[in-house]
Amino acid sequence: MIRTLKRRFSISAPRLSVRPHVPWYVRWAITLPFLLIMGYLVWWAYDTGMELAGFHRGQAEKEIAELRDRVVFLEAENAKQTNQIAVDERQTQIQQAAADEVQVQVKALHDENSQLQEDLSFFQNLPLTAGRDADLSIHRPKLEAGSLPGEYHLRMLLVQGIQRQGRDFEGDLQILVNGANGGQKVVLQFPRQNEAEVAEHRLSFRYYQRVDRVFRLPPDTRVDSVEIRVFEKGLQEPKAKQTVLLS
């Protein structure tokens, strides 16, 4: 402690300097312009160095602005093209659906035309004396399996005899299926006791009628033969009958 006091108050003590008091706002007023000038010089030196290196800030900012405008334009074009593609796809789907429908109609007309030509050829080759002894005859019966299990299609042509031409035929069609199920013989009759099926099997024609009927059998039923019976209205005995085998 004594040594400390000697160093402080002896001749070897630090010098004491007296300076006038400067307020802080005066100090900042003097320092701030100097800092601004130094910052400007630093920025100017950096920008000058970049330009000397080949980088131009103004040109770069202009290119960036052009690129942003280009991106906005391309995004708008992309959205427009996407909407147009969606419209074109819908239009293509509509046209494809229309083309498919036309193709189905053309196929149906072609099948109908073929059937009519076949019927015309049949009637042209039919002798005038054919069916003279029969009031009604069954021609070209055909039995085929359908696309579904237990489904069958029966097709035929009913023709009135010469002596009945000009008179309307009213009657019903009856189908008897002879087959087997589970090793036992079965006989199934169509139409069944159902008003809709009975109405579907009604017949009404003057000269001839093409008949196309679909019937369904229980699963695992084997068809041996099908007997076709045509009844005239008011009669109990069939006017015509014929047996057909599965094609």
**CATH number where 144 lies:** 2.60.40
Are 91 and 170 contained in the same domain?
A: no
pLDDT at 229: 93
Collapsed DSSP state (helix, strand, coil) of residue 161: coil
Which of residues 97, 125, 153 is at a domain's end? Answer: 125
Which contiguous run of DSSP H or E holds residue 128? none
Query: Count of domains in the chain?
Result: 3
DSSP SS3 for 191: coil
- Closest by CA to 203, choosing from 239, 178, 237, is 239
Query: How many CB atoms within 10 Å of residue 152?
Result: 21
Using CA atoms, how far apart are residues 37 and 43, in angstroms rounded to an integer?
10
45 and 102 together in one domain:
no
| Pair 38, 85 in one domain | no
Say whether both 150 and 233 belong to one domain: yes
* 240 in the same domain as 150: yes
Q: What residue type is 56 in one-letter code?
A: H
**Amino acid code (one letter) for 197:** E
Same domain membership, residue 68 and residue 46: no
Q: What is the pLDDT along the chain (247 residues), one digit of tens a residue?
A: 666 655 665 555 566 566 677 677 777 887 888 888 888 888 887 777 766 666 566 677 788 888 999 999 999 999 999 999 999 999 999 999 999 999 999 998 988 888 788 777 766 666 544 444 567 888 889 999 888 888 999 998 888 877 766 788 899 999 999 999 888 899 999 888 778 888 888 999 888 888 989 999 988 888 999 999 999 988 889 989 999 998 7
Tokens representing residue 135 in the block? 């009031």
| Whether residue 177 is found in the same domain as residue 229 | yes
7: in domain: no
Same domain assignment for residues 141 and 220: yes
Question: What's the pLDDT score for residue 42?
Answer: 82
- Give dist(CA 123, CA 210) in Å, integer: 13
The neighbour count for residue 6, using CB atoms within 10 Å, is 12
Q: Domain range for residue 172?
A: 136-244
Claim to verify: residue 214 and residue 169 sit in the same structural domain: yes
Same domain, 113 and 169: no
Instruction: Report the alpha-carbon distance of residue 215 to residue 128 in Å, rounded.
Output: 34
List all residues 6 or more positions away from 190 whose beta carbon is below 8 Å from its beta carbon: 174, 175, 177, 197, 201, 213, 215
Same domain, 156 and 114: no
Counting Cα atoms < 13 Å in the Cβ hemisphere of 44 gives 6
Residue 131's pLDDT is what? 47
Beta bridge partners of 205: 169
| Residue-wise burial string across 174-197, b where 16 or more C-beta atoms lie within 10 A, e elsewhere | bbebebeeeeeebebebbeeeeee
Residue 232 domain-assigned (yes or no): yes
Query: Does residue 178 lie in a domain region?
Result: yes
Report the pLDDT value the prediction gives residue 147, as an integer from 0 to 100: 85
Give pTM, 2 decimals: 0.52
